[in-house]
Amino acid sequence: MKILIASNIHWWNAEAAYASTISNLLQDAGHTVFVLTCPGSLNEKRLKENKLNLVTHIDLNSYNPIRLFKAYRNLKKFLLEENIELINPHRSEGFPLFVFAIRALRLLDPGNHLPIIRTRGTTRLLRQNWLNHKMLKECTDFHITPGKIVSERLLNSSNILSDKIKTIYYPITCPKLPLKPKQDFRTEFKISEKAKVLAVVGRIRPVKGQRILLQVLSQLLQDFQDLVLLIAYRDTSDNEPEMKSLRNDISSLNLESNVRLIPERDDILALMEFADVGVVSSVDSEVICRVAVEFFSVGTPVVAFPTGCLPEIILHNENGILAKNQTKEALTNELRNILGDPELYKRLGEVARRDAEIRFNPQKMLDETLEVFEHFLN
């Protein structure tokens, strides 16, 4: 099968990681995969590291009519020359160009039905106009989403039929444990043997809720005086306003001895395994939430706000804990309960690991995706 996957995203986020993961799985399974992306972007850099065949000469993200027409011609030429059998766009930018290119190719060869399988990784509302509805319902063969919440939003804001949508979760490969002796981290970060450890991982952004978590930590220290919070972050410079605000909060709350700010590093999974409890404090987005699944893969239970797809991934009191709402009080209560019960977080971590091995297995993602793709090629 020859597949064109469009991941025309400039940055590297969960949506980009989802596209990269399925591209690698399909390529490893013997299919020819091309990934269309933005030249010079962080996404292109990561895709190159994953040894994927990249297409960077087709600019789907331009607002310039001349450049868009050039992109349309280049796209149509590429589809013909490479004999692409299926298109899988992951972004709305440039999506009309795929529709127009396919319509043009069908005029040349009426028997050539080149399917479009759209993967939608956002809960943003659809543009409510007749052209967008027509493209999504009549010009798109099928829709894949990384979470049921996306499927529900799609159904509620369009006239797409439910049998044309399927949820396929982001997968994770479970490593052999332990990844690294825990004592190494205690020594590196000067954490005492008796101290319990929380970890939060992600970009420093208001939606990620790290500053809310600092307030929660301040409350938890009344019961757990040696508690340490690891804030592992990426794609955030020290000069950014949110990082400055985070550092100011650490200082004003007198948390310098209880917080470790950790920039991006290669052993992040080992760091997540080291933590007693992982926290996802996001108050918005989290359509894919790969961080929660990554914590699962190393057997670390997660306590989270009920944001985005997290209520689908975290089964309350089975493989993790969901706060009742998005308040610091609710998160504080749940973290206090789990930190005070080592048997609980051990049990939840074991179930989370098994869940990662079964429910979020990469082979499951590949099989479910191929089932959709092959249906429209047969």
Which domain does 11 fall in, by range?
2-171+361-375
Bridge partners, residue 88, by sequence: 5
Q: Confidence class of residue 130 from pLDDT cuts 50, 70 and 90?
A: low
CA dihedral 103, 104, 110, 113 (to 10 degrees): -50
Do 55 and 142 lie in one domain? The reply is yes
Taking the C-alpha atoms of residue 244 and residue 246, their distance in angstroms, rounded to an integer, is 5
Distance CA 240, CA 205 (A): 10
- The structure tokens listed for 281 are 């404090």
Interval 40-67 mean pLDDT: 95
- What's the number of domains the chain is made of? 2
Asked if residue 193 and residue 162 are part of one domain, the reply reads no
DSSP string for residues in 325-347: SSSHHHHHHHHHHHHT-HHHHHH
* Spatial CA neighbour of 159 closest among 182, 179, 143: 143
**30 and 75, same structural domain?**
yes
Q: Of the candidates 185, 135, 196, 123, which has an alpha carbon nearest to the alpha carbon of residue 160?
A: 135
Counting residues of the chain whose pLDDT is more than 90, the rounded percentage is 83
Rounded Cα distance, 355 and 13, in Å: 23
Query: Do residues 238 and 166 share a domain?
Result: no
What does the pLDDT read at residue 125?
Answer: 67
Residue 146 sits in the same domain as residue 239: no
Mean pLDDT for the stretch of residues 96-125: 88
Asked if pLDDT for residue 378 goes beyond 90, the answer is no
CATH number where 116 lies: 3.40.50.2000
β-bridge partners, 230? 199, 260
Q: Residues 258-277: pLDDT tens digits?
A: 999 999 999 999 999 999 99
Nearest to 128 by CA among 157, 150, 87, 98: 157
Give the Cα separation of 192 and 184 in Å (integer).
12
Q: Are residues 250 and 307 in the same domain?
A: yes
Is 25 inside any structural domain?
yes
What is the DSSP code (8-state) at residue 376? T
Asked if residue 176 is part of any domain, the answer here is no
Reported as a single tens digit per residue, the pLDDT across 74-100 is: 999 999 999 999 999 999 899 999 999
The pLDDT of residue 301 is: 97
Question: In this model, does residue 170 exceed pLDDT 70?
Answer: yes
Q: Which two tokens stand for residue 35?
A: 């990934």
- State the average pLDDT over residues 121-134: 72
